[in-house]
Amino acid sequence: MSAPPSGPRESGPRDDGFVQAVRDAVDLVDLARDYTQVEKRGARYKGLCPFHKEKTPSFSIDPERGLYYCFGCGAGGDAIRFHMQLTGDDFPLALESLARRFGVPIPERRGDTSGVQEQSRVLEAAAEFFVRQLDRHAAPLEYLRRRQVPSEAYRALGVGYAPDAWRELLGALQGRFSEQLLESAGLVARSAKSGRPYDRFRHRLVFPIHSTSGRLVGFGGRTLGDDPAKYVNTAETDSFRKSQLLYNLHRARPKIRESGRVLLVEGYFDVLGAQLCGIDWVVASMGTALTEQQAKLLSRYAGEVILGYDGDRAGEEASRKALRILLRSGVAVRRARFPAGQDPDSLRLEEGPEAVRGYVDGAVDALELELARRGPETVADPRLRAAAAGELRELLEVVPDTVLRYSYGERAARHLGLPVEVFWRSRGASSAVRQGAAEPAEANVAPEARSSMEARILHLLLWLGRDALGARELPAADLFGDADCRELYRAFAAAVEADGMHGGDEQGPALDAALVQQGLPPASSAQGLLARLLAAPPEGVRDGEALTLLGTLAAKGALVRQRALQAELFAAQERGDADRVEQILAELAELRRRRHGARR
């Protein structure tokens, strides 16, 4: 596995005595029971491996030596490594977490002020501060009352409040922690103009965010005012990497393992809402698109993921992106289809907990939904049918389990009215494309990488304004492949039309943010993207960066189009559609000509 081997070398300033004390104190069998069921067999314990999917146990623990080994996937090591592999904690964190759990006193760090322990302490202190403020202010309590969240529910999540001021948290913690520490913990930002520090969270409900092992690593804040950034998070730090965290996983983990399934929602309030409906096996991806790491994390605890994204177009799109990633990690995927415009929490308020539970229990197999989206009109039209077969085959190819993959393929083929060999043979088209494409590596750019480039461009445009593009005309919106990026870019371009949006810099966004915001559907995920991009200025901006990135994006767009054409070419040749073949070849030649032209 990718985690580095554990050893005293990595223990930093700690002495080896502490490492040994932790090794001696940890009960590996007890620890393993958090993740899988193990039974005693002779001198050893055996069970299903928590590191890979299996039906017959090949995971084995030697309790005397404190070592584990899996005969199926080769994972192995001691308790510290076990913890690191399953939680993503690094060595020092794993030590601390295990020390706490098995009652080993943790020595003070020597002279290391930016250490993990200090960061934990400052975050804990901030969490206490936020909770205290919640009880002292009417606005957050009134807000929670309006959303019908009983106090036990928000207290259980440790929800707090950041007051509507610039230096409240700073003032409260300054005596105990250095400004530098507050800044490195992601709680405090610094004014670009004056260099003065200020609270990152202001007039927000604050949700503490924990790592899988239960360590406080950051906060998410929801505005209670009219800040266009509806949600703001702690700045990314070494321990706070949003793409590797799932909100509420550390709390829900036992329930998820017990039930074998997990409800995946978008945000903090969806988690709260689901819990209030009696669904305590719920986690949130915190507004971002689901990442590979998050999917892997889920697949360790649950065999089935129920997608509970918002019942709107953005939620639909996010679900389909998540489906692809989840299938690859080997879990079954179902989708709760909330009514249009509803998320789990709004549905709870409007129709009550039973309704939410009903939608979740009635969640439909996500692949069946993908089939259903391709209705009779698809099957009737040869070209649509070929395209659908290609898309579905691509989606199913990544399912790791052979039997499952075959069964789904059979279903898909039947749905499209194709013999199953023909369905899988649409594979031929894609390998032909790979051979034909001039730059396969580039054409196969992961969608995530593409959309992060698109988001970077938008980040630059929003902060630097239209001037970031120099004299270049505004490009067409369909250059952006990611739906949210496209929507946000459209709103940006419209705002430029309306007021010019000149003269921004890294001190503050150029545009009238409200103008862009008005151009987006309310409560859409594009709004969330806008909020994230406005939360902090782009870092490390290079000269002409936006222009360069746009050029790259255009080139990639052409390659994607080329791939699609080549796939279609294959289908057109097979059915003997000479006219279409002609058209496709002409367009391919044009694309090639433009690409070579652009290089000169």
Residues that bind Zn ion (CB under 5 A): 49, 51-52, 70, 72-73
Q: Which of 500, 490, 488, 499 is nearest to 532 (CA)?
A: 488
Closest contact distance (angstroms) between CB of 82 and Zn ion is 12
Edge-to-edge strands of the sheet including 282-284? 282-284, 261-265, 304-307, 332-335, 364-365
Cα 285 from Cα 290, distance rounded (Å): 6
In 26-78, where does DSSP find H-type helix?
28-32
Please give the Cα distance from 217 to 233 (Å, whole number): 11
User: In which residue are the tokens 């692949």 written?
Assistant: 367
Nearer of residues 86 and 495 to Zn ion, judged by Cβ: 86
What crossing angle do the helices spanning 313-328 and 525-535 adopt, rounded to 10°? 80
Nearest distance from residue 128's CB to Zn ion, in Å? Answer: 41
Q: Which is nearer to Zn ion, 52 or 121 (CB)?
A: 52
Closer residue to Zn ion (CB): 36 or 243: 36
Strands (E), 323-438: 332-335, 364-365
| Residue 49 Cβ vs Zn ion, minimum distance, rounded to whole Å | 3
Contacts of 416 (CB under 8 A, 6+ apart): 374, 378, 379, 385, 388, 389, 392, 423
Compute the distance between CA of residue 400 and CA of residue 326 in angstroms, rounded to an integer. 11
CA angle 228, 231, 233 (to 5 degrees): 130
**At 354, which helix (H) or strand (E)?**
helix 353-361
> What is the maximum alpha-carbon separation in the chain?
79
Q: Give the number of C-alpha atoms closer than 13 A to the C-alpha of residue 573, restricted to the C-beta side.
A: 11
Least gap, CB of 330 to Zn ion (angstroms): 12
CB of 68 to Zn ion, least distance (A): 10
CB of 237 to Zn ion, least distance (A): 32
> Closer CB to Zn ion, residue 36 or residue 452?
36
Q: Are 553 and 454 in contact (CB under 8 A)?
A: yes
The conformational region for residue 290 under phi > 0 = left, psi -120 to 50 = alpha, else beta, is beta
Q: What's the CA gap between 486 and 477, in Å, rounded? A: 6
Q: Which is nearer to Zn ion, 49 or 571 (CB)?
A: 49
Q: Which is nearer to Zn ion, 57 or 158 (CB)?
A: 57
Looking at the Cβ atoms of 35 and 207, the one nearer to Zn ion is: 35
CB of 41 to Zn ion, least distance (A): 17
Among residues 73 and 541, whose Cβ is nearest to Zn ion?
73
Closest CA to 277 of 187, 227, 342: 342
Angle in degrees, CA 440, 444, 449, rounded to 5: 140
Residue with Cβ nearer Zn ion (52 or 100): 52
Closest distance to Zn ion from the beta carbon of 71 (Å):
8
Smallest gap from Cβ 59 to Zn ion, in A, equals: 6
Residue for token pair 């051979």: 435
Minimum gap (Å) between residue 33 Cβ and Zn ion: 16
Nearest to 283 by CA among 359, 211, 367, 356: 211
Q: How far is the CB of 94 from Zn ion (least distance, A)?
A: 19
By beta-carbon proximity to Zn ion, the closer residue of 46 and 450 is 46
User: Please, which residue, 50 or 218, has the CB nearer to Zn ion?
Assistant: 50
Q: How far is CA 64 from CA 7, 37, 40, 103, 275, in A?
A: 19, 18, 13, 20, 41
Q: Which of 545, 537, 553 is nearest to 485 (CA)?
A: 553
Query: What is the smallest separation between the CB atom of 296 and Zn ion, expressed in angstroms?
Result: 14
With respect to Zn ion, which residue has the nearer C-beta, 49 or 347? 49
Q: Closest separation between CB of residue 54 and Zn ion, Å?
A: 7
Query: Which class for 72: exposed (0-12), middle (13-18), buried (19 or more C-beta within 10 A)?
Result: middle
Q: Which is nearer to Zn ion, 51 or 82 (CB)?
A: 51
Which residue's CB is nearer to Zn ion, number 50 or number 409?
A: 50
Contacts 24+ apart (CB under 8 A), 52-56: 53/299, 53/303, 53/330, 53/400, 53/401
Compute the distance between CA of residue 54 and CA of residue 45 in angstroms, rounded to an integer: 17
Work out how close the CB of 470 gets to Zn ion at its nearest, in angstroms, rounded to a whole number: 54
Nearer to Zn ion, 49 or 144 (CB): 49
Q: Do 37 and 70 form a contact (C-beta atoms < 8 A)?
A: no
Shortest Å distance, C-beta 73 to Zn ion: 3
Instruction: Quote the strand ranges of 211-357, DSSP E.
Output: 216-223, 231-233, 261-265, 282-284, 304-307, 332-335
Amino acid at 245: L
What's the token pair of residue 311?
A: 């019942």
Beta bridge partners of 265: 284
Tokens linked to 206: 């604050």
CA nearest 525: which of 252, 226, 271, 317?
317
